[in-house]
Structure 1
Amino acid sequence: MNRYTPTNKPLAVLGALGALYGLRIGYDLLHSVIPYFRPSKLDRYLETADGKTPWALVTGSNSGIGKAFANELASHGFNIVLLGRSKEKLKATKAELQTRHPGRKFRIIVTLPGQCTDPSKVSFPEIAKAVRDLNLNVLVNNLGGAMPRAEFGTIDYYTTGELTEHINVMATFPTLLTSTLFPALMRNGPGLVINIGSFADEGIPYLPTYGPTKSFLMTSSKELAREVKCEGRDVEILGLRVGLVSGTELNKKKATFFMPDAADFVKSALARVGCGRMVIGAYWPHALQSGLVGLLPEFIKEKGISWELSRRYKEERERTTTKQH
């Protein structure tokens, strides 16, 4: 005898929807976690067309995360091109890394401060010429910086010139550099491009061009990753979202579990190579933090972000005003 009655139909529908929702959550969780258990495929880029030692070019490599990338890549067997805006700092970094890695070769490319803020003054053909004799397999777009004059500020606090220059450094320069060096990456293949982003791409207030330019780089990573796939080009594009890292020019605080030093962060970042994602959190505790925040109800998340950043902005303004007087 059929005991089904119309009264239990809504319960059956709700049960089915609940099961589907549970499956979706389980899938999303696995999708988020699996890449962190995959072994790095960085060694794949030690292969070159002619069998000679590969080179990696790291921008903003005179300190902090960039210097850590140069050091870690050299330890894996890459020769390194150091690109930055201070000749003296680059020379000091080169000497330090050469001592650490006597079997590796290092080369310097200097872009003067005014050039990165105005890419029209950069001779990109000269940069291409400077690496023409190298087996360039890896490009790390790390060059960047905090907002001009202060870490936090409203959009009208900065001049249009300051905003334009910051956008050029953070977004325009790495895009044009990637375009310039892409033929070499394809020629020497397989190639790897790593773009350094930030979790500030969520839209953190008081950073009017920092977060947006990082979002630009991550979208650019997705676009280029799909483009090379369509074209059948053997170049991996990887956008890495970054949280707080200690041991940089902007953060001298002691390292913690959720705030690694630059060396540990870079080890984690390079472990993501070949993870199968176009964009991913480079350091899994940062990704965990972001994921937990994402689970909060929208109104609580927005209220928390606005309150915390407003507090920090006011503290920064008071500190700056006191220092000026």
Structure 2
Amino acid sequence: MKYTLLELIGLASIGTVSWFVFREVWKFMYSTFIGHALGRSLSLKNIGQWAVVTGATDGIGRAYAEELASHGLNIVLISRSPYKLQNVAAEIESQYKVKTKIIDVDFTSGIEIYDRIKKEIEGLEIGVLINNVGMSYAYPEYLAEVPNATEFSQSLINCNVVSVTQMCILVLRQMVERKKGLILNVSSASAVLPTPLMTMYSSTKAYVYKFSEDLALEYAPFGITIQCVLPGFVVSKMSRYKKPAFRIPLPRDFVRGHMRTLGLEFASAGFWVHKILLGYYTKLNTVSPSTVVNVTFTNLSGTRQRALRRLQMQREQQENGIDTAKDK
């Protein structure tokens, strides 16, 4: 049976598209479900006695601390509030019967905090580092209109960029000596997608992505696994989502899903719904970048307008309260 040239081109196109779809589906299924079920994901057994988690008192950070404790690792909890750290540490020790150590530092501060962290973790066999601490905008905004932009930009860089870099420097040498270790650097889906009105935030997360990519290549010969995490929205104080939904998981569900991907892919959106959404939008961004830009800009512009209306209402309520007090 002979085919015309047009039919051959059509068959070749169908075959190419089918192969592309099959490959993407297989990658998703393997990294999300199959690889872990076959025992191919990274085991935390004998990786080290301690795990260090930054931003450990809320959200994803706390969920990572609890998940690692459930695997028998002792936990170094690093965050800003001593009171919250003490409470989380007590709960983890009680529930998981592991040791904890707390370090209260503000990652928006300068480089001097890392001297203290270095002294506090000295002598600990650290097998896992979770670079989770981060901060974002109060609401999407044009760069020149960000409140206290100069001070905010420095705090953002210290918290999102300097923290990841310095914490890796602190733990890598001992991991190399033992030829084992795991570092998870929490970035964001905004690192790989257009994110207007969140320019500084997405840029710091893009740094985390590139830094993790090259660091993973550097230290793979030493037996160290370095993975970049690219979450979408999760129920947390930073996201301001208070209730879970189909695409907005609880922190523990996100972390449990992500832990199954360890060692199976360099960058992971973690939760299976996030992986589908990120895969869809990154492919769409390749084919039709203007579409993705329009979607993100429209969504973030709407969020900005709602936030500005709330702020205006709050100002009016405060002014009315002051006027009422004066009348009395």
TM range, smaller chain: 0.7 to 0.9
Match of 1:284 in 2: 272
Match of 2:171 in 1: 181
1:170 aligned onto 2:166: no
1:263 aligned onto 2:257: no
Match of 2:123 in 1: 133
Match of 1:55 in 2: 50
Contact 1:46 1:78 in 2 (8 A): no
Tell me how far apart the structure 2 counterparts of residues 253 and 292 of structure 1 sit (CA, whole Å): 26
| Alignment deviations for residues 90-129 of structure 1 (CA, whole Å, 9 cap, x no partner) | 112112222212x200001121x3xx2243332x344223
Choose from 214, 218, 227 the match for 2:218: 227
Secondary structure, aligned partner of 1:119: coil
User: How far 1:21 moved relative to its partner?
Assistant: 3.4
Tell me how far apart the structure 2 counterparts of residues 42 and 249 of structure 1 sit (CA, whole Å): 29
Contact 1:132 1:184 in 2 (8 A): no
Match of 2:19 in 1: 23
Choose from 13, 31, 35 the match for 2:31: 35
Tell me how far apart the structure 2 counterparts of residues 289 and 74 of structure 1 sit (CA, whole Å): 30
Tell me how far apart the structure 2 counterparts of residues 286 and 43 of structure 1 sit (CA, whole Å): 21
Comparing 169-178 with 294-303, greater Cα deviation is found at 294-303
Match of 2:320 in 1: none
User: How far 1:254 moved relative to its partner?
Assistant: 1.3
Match of 1:303 in 2: 294
Number of equivalences: 307
Contact 2:77 2:85 in 1 (8 A): yes
1:198 aligned onto 2:188: yes
Match of 2:263 in 1: 274
Structure 1's 293 and 203: CA in aligned 2 closer, same or farther, altered over 3 A?
closer
1:155 aligned onto 2:149: no
Contact 1:45 1:54 in 2 (8 A): no
Choose from 55, 68, 78 the match for 1:83: 78
Structure 1 stretches of 5 or more lacking a match? none
Structure 1's 43 and 60: CA in aligned 2 closer, same or farther, altered over 3 A?
same
| Alignment deviations for residues 5-42 of structure 1 (CA, whole Å, 9 cap, x no partner) | 9xx33442443244233323322332233211211767
Contact 2:44 2:71 in 1 (8 A): no
Secondary structure, aligned partner of 2:44: helix
RMSD: 2.3
Match of 1:312 in 2: 303
Match of 1:66 in 2: 61
Tell me how far apart the structure 2 counterparts of residues 187 and 87 of structure 1 sit (CA, whole Å): 32
User: How far 1:295 moved relative to its partner?
Assistant: 5.5
Tell me how far apart the structure 2 counterparts of residues 188 and 267 of structure 1 sit (CA, whole Å): 27
Structure 1's 118 and 156: CA in aligned 2 closer, same or farther, altered over 3 A?
same
TM-score of the two chains, using structure 1 as the length reference: 0.86
Give the partner amino acid of 1:12.
L
Match of 1:110 in 2: 104
Structure 1's 137 and 109: CA in aligned 2 closer, same or farther, altered over 3 A?
same
User: How far 1:301 moved relative to its partner?
Assistant: 3.1
Structure 1's 188 and 263: CA in aligned 2 closer, same or farther, altered over 3 A?
same
Structure 1's 292 and 224: CA in aligned 2 closer, same or farther, altered over 3 A?
same
Structure 2 stretches of 5 or more lacking a match? 317-328
Secondary structure, aligned partner of 2:222: coil
Tell me how far apart the structure 1 counterparts of residues 70 and 41 of structure 2 sit (CA, whole Å): 12
Structure 1's 305 and 43: CA in aligned 2 closer, same or farther, altered over 3 A?
closer
